[in-house]
Structure 1
Amino acid sequence: MNLVTYLGLAYHAEQTFADSLRTVGQGHAKHPDVLFTCQALAAMSDEHVERLTPIVQRYGASSGKDVKEPERLHADGLAEVRSGPVGLLRDLQDLHVLGTLVQTTWTVVFQAAQALRDDELIELCEHASGQNSRQLSWLNTRLKAAAPQSLIAA
Structure 2
Amino acid sequence: MNLAHYIGLLENSEKQLTEAFEYVANKHKDEVDIEQVCLKLSAWSREHHGRIMPFVEKYSEDHESEPASLKRDLFTKKRRGSLALLRDLHDLWLLTQEAQLCWIVIRQAALGLRDEDLKSCYQFCNTRTKRQAEWLLGRIKQAAPQTLLVA
Scaled by the length of structure 2, what TM-score is found?
A: 0.92
The answer to whether the Cα contact below 8 Å between 1:106 and 1:125 also exists between their aligned partners in 2 is yes
For the residues of structure 2 that align with 1:107 and 1:81, how far apart are their CA atoms?
33
The answer to whether the Cα contact below 8 Å between 1:23 and 1:79 also exists between their aligned partners in 2 is no
For the residues of structure 1 that align with 2:78 and 2:128, how far apart are their CA atoms?
24
CA drift of 1:80 comes to 6.9
For the residues of structure 1 that align with 2:41 and 2:145, how far apart are their CA atoms?
24
Residues 111-148 of structure 1, C-alpha deviations (whole Å, 9 max, x = no match): 00010000110001111110001000100000011001
**Length, aligned pairs only:** 147
Q: 1:90 — aligned with what? A: 87
Q: 1:68 — aligned with what? A: 64
Distance 1:42 1:81, change over 3 A: farther
Farther-moved stretch of structure 1 (73-82 vs 86-95):
73-82
Q: Which segments of 5 or more consecutive residues in structure 2 lack a partner in the other structure?
A: none
Q: 1:47 — aligned with what? A: 47
SS in 1 for 2:70: coil
For the residues of structure 2 that align with 1:60 and 1:7, how far apart are their CA atoms?
8
Q: Which amino acid aligns with 1:48?
A: H
Find 2:115's aligned residue among 93, 118, 133.
118
Q: Which amino acid aligns with 1:7?
A: I
CA drift of 1:81 comes to 5.6
Q: Which segments of 5 or more consecutive residues in structure 1 lack a partner in the other structure?
A: none
CA RMSD of aligned residues (A): 1.5
Find 2:140's aligned residue among 139, 143, 146.
143
Identity of aligned residues (%): 36
Scaled by the length of structure 1, what TM-score is found?
A: 0.90
